[in-house]
């Protein structure tokens, strides 16, 4: 029943699970030079973008993901002026970053320009700030861009990547993290989506190892719900250059000059609270102190 | 493909979504006097119990649900000695409650004895404390039991119910909450599973209204992931008789004399952090102070 054309189903091979959304129409399908992009209109989750069979976002709940990728790191950094978003072609993370008046420039680096162009058509609510003079778009390989970025030139890097297969794989490598480490200014911060804590601790362990190997000695993961991703529970992992990740600009977060639907100061604090099994699974890489 | 006999699929009509688990075998199916119970062996989530088409628990992630229903309320109450678990026939919540040495008696009240008997067979890891002399089982209607409980006789009530349809519906009613209010001793606490914050704010609003109508003036919801339930994100709502819900026995929680896989003191604090949309959706019932 769910394989008929009234449903879009995403399979999660490694979990023996699948999740499905009832669709009203397929709005678009194209094979770009990098990946296959589909856009569906669903009955209850609004528009959904799918890349290579994996749901990237839905109109209904992308606010959680985009707010949690943008605001915790920007309110943790003391003065985030120069930001790079690697991946994130749907522009939702960029849109949240641009809500921060203290940000002076944001470069979005996505290998596939078509993701941005299709998002402008099908998710205009995420692209409303694309013309902000602080925003710059580079359609190139994120790892190459980062290697070529001037040393100490970025305050905050947000890696809004696909899963570590296909074009996104390089963004989970030590080579990429070393390039980030070099490009970040002192006390600079990196955050990257880091998959499901329930399903993908092997990926998280790999990421912790690679980030530490690249010189990021201080790591912390944050957790949030996301119904369109496998298991409905997702994480992002934050790394700081040269200093522990402690506290955040709480007063600024509480007085933020824009509306949010998920993020607030309480959520900021709560998101960094890790479950017991998470500490245990990382205990040989990142001992709890 | 997902409708064939290699998958169990749960439909969520109100969200136009479905989630599926690959199965190795159907271990049991029976229609009791109250509901249809099925047990499956899945490829990646271990055993799964299904009631009336809705997944109740999986061997893989029930620890999150059961720990979050039991430990936050027991460490919030100053001295939880007398506990009632309404529903919860799989015995997972009971098992967590019995890990607390300060608890002197726990009564599990489930309308359907067959849930307990099948759990003993298919989820023995949840039933290992069923013979604890502090545990008592009553197979009767939870609302009736609560109405007949002596006044001021219970410290903690945990409502581990099914959804508010079928036999579980009465457990979301003002009549039931009034009975709980009467049965609870001073400063007594109630917690109830309260569905998905993303999908079921209407149910949460109804619950807040009914609980307040029954005299519980102080309410707080807590949030946790749960991959086998719709949207993968779930909540429980806590109500206190006569006093605000503030703080918890943090030192005791930090030094708990048992292992957990999800719960810890950080998680306790973090779980009560509510997203912006949640406050907004309840602002006419429970203004943020």
- The structural domains of chain B, ordered by start, are 7-58 (2.30.140.10), 62-281 (3.40.50.150)
Catalytic residue list of A: 160
Q: What is the pLDDT of residues A17-69, one digit of tens each?
A: 999 999 999 999 999 999 999 999 999 999 999 999 999 999 999 999 999 99
Candidate from B17, B42, B273 with C-beta closest to A21: B17
Label residue B1 by pLDDT band (50, 70, 90): very low
- What confidence score (pLDDT) does residue B3 get? 62
CB contact under 8 A, B20 and A2: yes
DSSP secondary structure string for all residues of chain B: -TTSTTEEEEEEGGGTEEEEEEEEEEEEEEE-SS-EEEEEEESSS-EEEEETTEEEEETTTHHHHHHHHHHHHHHHSSS--EEEEEE-TTSHHHHHHTT-TT--EEEEE-S-HHHHHHHHHH-GGGSTTTT-TTEEEE-S-HHHHHHHSPTT-EEEEEEE---SSGGGGGGGSHHHHHHHHHHEEEEEEEEEE---TTT-HHHHHHHHHHHHHTT--EEEEEEEE-TTSGGGEEEEEEEESSS------HHHHHT-SS--SS--HHHHHHHTPPPHHHHHHTTTTS---
Which residue is closest to A61 within chain B, CA to CA?
B198
For the segment A76-98, the average pLDDT, to the nearest whole number, is: 98
Question: A124 pLDDT exceeds 80?
Answer: yes
First and final CA of chain A: distance in angstroms? 50
- What confidence score (pLDDT) does residue A277 get? 98
Label residue B289 by pLDDT band (50, 70, 90): low
Q: Which of A233, A268, A289 to mutate to test the interface with B (most CBs of B within 10 A)?
A: A233
Q: Establish whether this prediction's ipTM goes over 0.90.
A: yes
Q: Give contacts of B46 with chain A, Cβ < 8 Å.
A: none
Return mean pLDDT, chain A: 95
| Cβ atoms A94, A212 nearer than 8 A | no
Q: What tokens appear for B121 in the block?
A: 């067979």
CB contact under 8 A, B17 and A44: yes
pTM for this model (two decimals): 0.97
- What confidence score (pLDDT) does residue B123 get? 98
Strand partners, A158: A85, A191
Which DSSP state fits A117? Answer: H
Residue percentage of chain B with pLDDT more than 90: 92
Measured in angstroms, the CA of A115 and the nearest CA of chain B are apart by 25
Number of A–B residue contacts, CB under 8 Å = 149
Residue percentage of chain B with pLDDT more than 70: 98
CB contact under 8 A, B269 and A264: no
Return mean pLDDT, chain B: 95
CB contact under 8 A, B42 and A16: yes
Measured in angstroms, the CA of B262 and the nearest CA of chain A are apart by 4
């Amino acid at each position: 029943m769910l394989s008929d054309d009234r449903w879009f189903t995403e399979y999660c091979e490694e979990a023996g699970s699948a999740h499905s959304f009832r669709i009203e129409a397929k709005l678009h399908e194209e094979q770009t030079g990098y990946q296959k992009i589909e856009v569906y209109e669903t009955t209850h989750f609004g528009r959904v973008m799918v890349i290579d069979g994996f749901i990237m976002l839905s109109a209904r709940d992308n606010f959680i993901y985009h707010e949690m990728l943008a605001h915790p790191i920007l309110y943790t950094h003391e003065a985030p002026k120069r930001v790079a978003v690697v991946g994130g072609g749907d522009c939702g993370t960029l849109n949240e970053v641009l809500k921060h008046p203290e940000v002076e420039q944001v470069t979005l680096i996505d290998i596939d320009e078509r993701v941005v162009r299709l998002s402008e058509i099908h998710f205009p609510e995420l692209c409303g700030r694309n013309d902000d003079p602080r925003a710059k778009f580079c359609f190139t390989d994120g790892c190459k861009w980062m290697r070529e970025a001037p040393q100490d030139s970025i305050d905050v890097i947000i890696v809004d990547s696909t899963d570590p297969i296909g074009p996104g794989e390089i963004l989970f490598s030590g080579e990429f993290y070393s390039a980030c480490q070099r490009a970040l200014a002192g006390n600079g911060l990196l955050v990257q989506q880091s998959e499901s804590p329930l399903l993908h601790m092997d990926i998280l362990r790999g990421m912790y190892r690679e980030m530490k190997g690249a010189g990021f000695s201080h790591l912390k993961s944050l957790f949030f719900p996301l119904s369109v991703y496998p298991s409905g529970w997702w994480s992002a992992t934050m790394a700081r250059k040269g200093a522990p990740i402690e506290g955040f600009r709480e007063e600024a977060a509480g007085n933020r000059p824009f509306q949010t639907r998920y993020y607030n100061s309480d959520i900021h604090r709560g998101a960094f609270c890790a479950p017991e099994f998470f500490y245990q699974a990382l205990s040989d890489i990142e001992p709890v102190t």
